[in-house]
Amino acid sequence: MAAIFRQVGDSIRWAGDWLRQAEGWQIALLIVVGLLVLPLMPFVLALGVVFALVLFARAWLREFTYLMRLGDDAFPGHNDKLIWAMLLIVLAPIGTWLFQNYREAHWPEAKPGKADLFDY
């Protein structure tokens, strides 16, 4: 933790040294870029959230499709496939992560490749 605080302090010190040595046009450019970027921050944040949701939906769909393609005999218990499906549907973020880890542990050769991206 102390190393992180030390690194943050060094970064702040570096920024202060840079501002003391900066010329007028560099500071003006920094202000103009700041004034142009700050109004776009809600849009950039919303775009980041949408991108994260799309990535999650893609991962969920990949895991759910893989689960549905498996036969009932691939699981040790009688209702395991049903339990995994319910976990993926009801607790989507946790279920996706758990099933991905379970799948990689039990079927390591079945990691999705580039050919699987457009399979559904």
- Sign for the pseudo-dihedral over CA of 15, 20, 23, 28: positive
How much is the pLDDT for 16?
A: 82
Quickly state the pLDDT bin for 81 (edges 50, 70, 90). very high
Question: Whole-structure pTM over 0.85, yes or no?
Answer: no
Instruction: Answer whether residue 111 shows pLDDT above 90.
Output: no
Q: Using one digit for the tens of pLDDT, what is the confidence trace for 10-61? A: 888 888 887 788 888 888 888 888 888 888 888 888 999 999 999 999 999 9
